[in-house]
Every structure is written in C-alpha cells, then in structure tokens.
Amino acid sequence: MSLTRSQTIETKKEFQDNLTLSGLTVERIAEDLNTTPEIIENTLNLDAIYIEDPWVLKEYLEEKIRENGDVPIEFKALRGDYHQYWFLNSSRIDKMKIG
C-alpha cells in the first residue's frame, strides 16, 4: 500500500493526535511493544522498517485510548480489517510485532 503525499501528511497527524490522546510516552510504547523508542518515532513518521509497523502502532494506540474510555481519532488511510489486505502479514500485526 502506497500513500499519496496528502495521505502521508494526514496519517502522520492522526498518529500524533492519537499519541497525545493516549497520554503515553514514546518510551512507554516502546517498552510495551518490546522495541526501541527510535523504532516508535520512525513508525510515527511513517519511516518504518516493515509495512505492518504503522498498523501495529495504530492498533496499539487505539486499544490504549479505548481502555482509557476515550475514542481514538479515526485513521483515514489505515482503515478496514488488516486481515483482508493481501500485502500485509496479518499474523505480524496480531502478534503486535514491530521493528
């Protein structure tokens, strides 16, 4: 999946908005996902190692936001059931494997 320039800008903003809404730090997210803060920062900026990394982070943030009783900001480009996208390794996302 390739994003247009405007989708890339919008998705980065959606990540930042959801990060803020979650109240979590990059360090905490990295710890929870068993990775480094640098991997999380890169993923927030859509400079991920694997195409699944933004989906992992999206799923993680949405779950944490809902656990707090809030509603996550909707992702317009990263939407739908990732299991249905042939180009994604859905088991990698299910296992929350990032980086």
Q: Where are the domains of the chain?
A: 5-94
| Integer Cα distance of 54 and 43 in angstroms | 6
Q: Are 98 and 51 in contact (CB under 8 A)?
A: no
Cα 95 to Cα 52: distance, rounded to the nearest angstrom: 11
pLDDT in tens, 25-49: 999 999 999 999 999 999 999 999 9
- State the pLDDT at residue 2: 83
Give the predicted TM-score (pTM) of the model: 0.95
Spatial separation of the C-alpha atoms in residues 17 and 21, rounded to whole Å:
6
> Cα separation of 72 and 57, whole Å?
13
Distance CA 92, CA 22 (A): 23
